[in-house]
């Protein structure tokens, strides 16, 4: 599997250090939810994860968030099968706690065209969420649209197709512990 990688763009060590920094920034914003009270005064935060690419990032990030939280899951597909360009956003499954008047943090792997986050931000707004913020591990800055607000960004990357740390190509490579690019021979005739 590692033989298919052309270049490691972000090492395991860089990922771990940056995720810890993001955790500290996010905890600072939600500091009133930092104490794990159960007296009802601190409602905490709902983290909404966009499956499947964000699972590795989420699982590392939440261990740097000592705040009261619950989780919701949304499955969105935009790169079906061996596609390496967005084929349009489709919300496939929604498993959400009640987010009305809740503070919500959307956790996503990568901001590319913004179609995914635009759809999820709209859906959460319509569900009555308050203070919707977004964290992405990666942002393809050349494409990121101005109308999709993202408060926290791990790394800006060039417009390459990347895999690893949750990100896949045709369902594979999510388990690589770094972010890298694939050899052109692996991408073949992908679009």
To Mg ion, the closest distance from the beta carbon of 116 in angstroms equals 6
Instruction: Please tell me which residue in 39, 108, 112, 168 is annotated as part of the active site.
Output: 112
x/- track of binding to ligand IMP for residues 108-147 (CB under 6 A)? xxxxxxxxx-------------------------------
To ligand IMP, the closest distance from the beta carbon of 149 in angstroms equals 13
To Mg ion, the closest distance from the beta carbon of 90 in angstroms equals 12
Given ligand IMP, Mg ion, none, residue 173, with its beta carbon under 5 to 8 Å by kind, binds none
Q: How many residues belong to the site for Mg ion (CB under 5 A)?
A: 3
112 is an active site residue: yes
Long-range contacts of 37-46 (CB under 8 A, 24+ apart): 37/68, 42/68, 43/68, 43/102, 43/103, 44/68, 44/69, 44/70, 44/103, 45/69, 45/102, 45/103, 45/104, 45/105, 46/70, 46/71, 46/72, 46/97, 46/99, 46/102, 46/103, 46/104, 46/105, 46/129
Determine if 164 is a binding residue for ligand IMP (CB under 6 A).
Answer: no
């Amino acid at each position: 599997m590692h033989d298919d990688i052309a270049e490691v763009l972000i090492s395991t060590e860089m990922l771990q250090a940056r995720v810890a920094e993001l955790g500290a920034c996010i905890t600072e914003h939600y500091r009133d939810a930092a104490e794990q009270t159960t007296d009802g005064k601190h409602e905490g935060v709902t983290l909404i994860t966009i499956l499947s690419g964000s699972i590795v990032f989420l699982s590392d990030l939440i261990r740097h968030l000592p705040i009261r939280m619950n989780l919701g899951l949304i499955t969105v597909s935009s790169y079906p099968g061996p596609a390496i360009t967005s084929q349009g956003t489709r919300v496939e499954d929604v498993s959400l706690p009640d987010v009305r008047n809740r503070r919500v943090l959307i956790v996503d792997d990568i901001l590319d065209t913004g179609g995914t986050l635009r759809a999820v931000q709209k859906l959460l707004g319509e569900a009555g969420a308050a203070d919707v913020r977004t964290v992405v591990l990666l942002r393809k800055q050349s494409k990121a649209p101005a109308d999709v607000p993202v408060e926290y960004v791990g790394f800006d990357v060039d417009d390459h197709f990347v895999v690893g740390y949750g990100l896949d190509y045709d369902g594979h490579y999510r388990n690589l512990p770094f972010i890298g690019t694939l050899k052109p021979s692996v991408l073949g005739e992908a679009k």
